[in-house]
Amino acid sequence: MSEKLGLLSIYKLLPQTNCGECGEANCMAFASRMLERSKLPQDCPPMVKQSRYKKNLEKLVAMIAPSIREVKIGSGERTVKIGGEEVLYRHQLSYHNQTAIAIDVSDNMTAEEIRSRCVATEKFSMIKMGQEMRLDMIAVRAASGEPERFASTVKLVNEGCSLPLMLCSTDPVSLRAALEVQGVCEKRPLLYAATKDNWKEVGELAQRYVCPVVASSPNNLDGLVSLASTLESMGLKDIVLDPGTLVEGGLLKETVNNLVMLRRSGLLKEKALGYPLLCIPAVVWATAEMADPVVTAYRESYIASLLVNRYADIIVMHSLDIWAVLPVATLRQAIYTDPRKPVSVESGVKEIGTVNGSSPVLVTTNFALTYYTVMNDIEASGVNCYLIVADTEGLAVEVGVAGGQFNATKINDVLGASSIAGKLNHKRMVIPGRAARLKGDIEDTTGWEAMIGPQDSSEIGGFIKKHWDAPK
């Protein structure tokens, strides 16, 4: 980690009064939170309110600004944020704004095809580990070469879809026609793309309509640096870099290498390269007219996954098949999950199925993987029960027991905060087999009988059927 992000460097600029107004115990703790990006300089009330700290506040804001600029696309609830990254490897800190997945439509498609793809993209939703996975954008391609037709397609998409737009054309006339469609420029679409041939016209459009813009220079990083610097000199700040997505003739390796070099250089404070990156896995369809569409979609999916794993901040895909899109969305979720924070669910008492006063009471932790595994196994076994979810700070049963986060007090806290005791005609609970050593402590603390359950939640159904004999 660079000196710029050193803990002491941040601490020296703070008031050092340990006033606690920020919610932390002292200024050193606040500096630590700033270092891990859970606090901002503006979260320190004295620095905001007192003019004597103004210069230090400005220095801190500049100090913790991410090396890769954050760019916002769209407006309202579905605004897409990309970039804002600080590290090359996730374990160094964390990644922040997940890769945006855009689905393309073409102005050569029929109106019905366009509507269908927009609806499918907007409605795509999958829940995994308690988190919703969605698609983020619509990329409208000017394949016809006709500005009026492109504008008409953009209007159709804009009126029927709330997702942010990416306007894809290297023709400034077509881009201008699309931006003049009522309501489009207010949504801050991403303009794709400024090239060495049209940078002046497209840059002026981005200025006039206050839109983010893509600088595109396929497989020419020197040209990309020059293009980005030129756009910067025009006063543009929201820039996205497209180094080209080359996948044929063994060039996929070059594409990946370019992404790595761009991200590494951006993190090393090469100003012209400190921007988010865009890739277009959908290019595989350009040469696949006679190929098997299933094979092509599979190829697009694994190329997209590779590019997400190598720093692409936006990818444009064509396939909407669930088996092609879901692996990419799942990988994205895994990559952008903060490794410092276990994925957890809210603690409390859950009712599974139809419960009554004699229903079993089971206990688990709030580690998301444990919770959903237990939930699925209980539902699959047909057991109607209450499930006590203890706050173990997102740790699994065995780890939580070993570290002390899964204990009798945590279980008792859930019991005290709920009304479960008044709903039952018994005081018995089934604790995980891997927490057997807590039995005595749980009984002493809660006043409930603790039955030692199975080691594996897949055996819950058989265990309840054999051992649960609570009064009717």
pLDDT of 306 strictly over 60: yes
Least confident interval from 307-316, 318-327, 351-360, 463-472: 463-472
Q: How far apart are CA 301 and CA 324, in angstroms?
A: 5
Residue 341 confidence class, pLDDT cut points 50, 70, 90: confident
The answer to whether 267 and 277 have CB atoms below 8 angstroms apart is no
Quick one: average pLDDT of 369-375?
93
Q: How far apart are CA 95 and CA 88, in angstroms?
A: 9
The answer to whether 247 and 106 have CB atoms below 8 angstroms apart is no
pLDDT attached to residue 290: 60
Burial class (CB in 10 A: 0-12, 13-18, 19+), 146: middle
pLDDT attached to residue 134: 96
Give CA 272 to chain center in angstroms: 25
Residues of each domain in the chain carrying CATH 1.10.15.40: 3-63
What is the homologous superfamily of the domain 3-63 according to CATH? Electron transport complex subunit B, putative Fe-S cluster (1.10.15.40)
Residues in the chain: 472
Quick one: average pLDDT of 442-456?
96
pLDDT attached to residue 156: 97
CA distances 191 to 7, 75, 167, 236, Å, are 39, 15, 5, 12
Quick one: average pLDDT of 352-376?
94
Residues of each domain in the chain carrying CATH 3.20.20.20: 71-335
pLDDT attached to residue 470: 52
pLDDT attached to residue 64: 82
The answer to whether 156 and 114 have CB atoms below 8 angstroms apart is yes
Q: How far apart are CA 382 and CA 464, in angstroms?
A: 11
Q: How far apart are CA 243 and CA 337, in angstroms?
A: 26
Residue 314 confidence class, pLDDT cut points 50, 70, 90: very high
**Structure confidence by residue, pLDDT tens digits, 112-171:** 999 999 999 999 999 887 789 999 999 999 999 999 999 999 999 999 999 999 999 999
pLDDT attached to residue 94: 84
pLDDT attached to residue 472: 46
Residues of each domain in the chain carrying CATH 3.40.50.11600: 348-467
**Structure confidence by residue, pLDDT tens digits, 186-202:** 999 999 999 999 999 99
Sign of CA dihedral 62, 63, 66, 67: positive
CATH of domain 348-467: 3.40.50.11600
- List CB contacts of 230: < 8 A, sequence separation 6 or more: 199, 203
Best CA proximity match to 203, nearest among 175, 222, 184: 175
Q: How far apart are CA 45 and CA 24, in angstroms?
A: 12
Least confident interval from 88-92, 101-105, 134-138: 88-92
pLDDT of 3 strictly over 50: no
Looking at every residue in the chain, the average pLDDT score rounds to 93
pLDDT of 54 strictly over 80: yes
The answer to whether 148 and 121 have CB atoms below 8 angstroms apart is no
Q: How far apart are CA 175 and CA 148, in angstroms?
A: 10
Long-range contacts of 17-24 (CB under 8 A, 24+ apart): 17/46, 19/45, 19/46, 21/45, 21/46
pLDDT attached to residue 86: 87
CATH of 71-335 among 3.20.20.20, 3.40.50.170, 3.40.50.620, 3.30.420.80: 3.20.20.20
In sequence order, the β-bridge partners of residue 220 are none
pLDDT of 289 strictly over 90: no
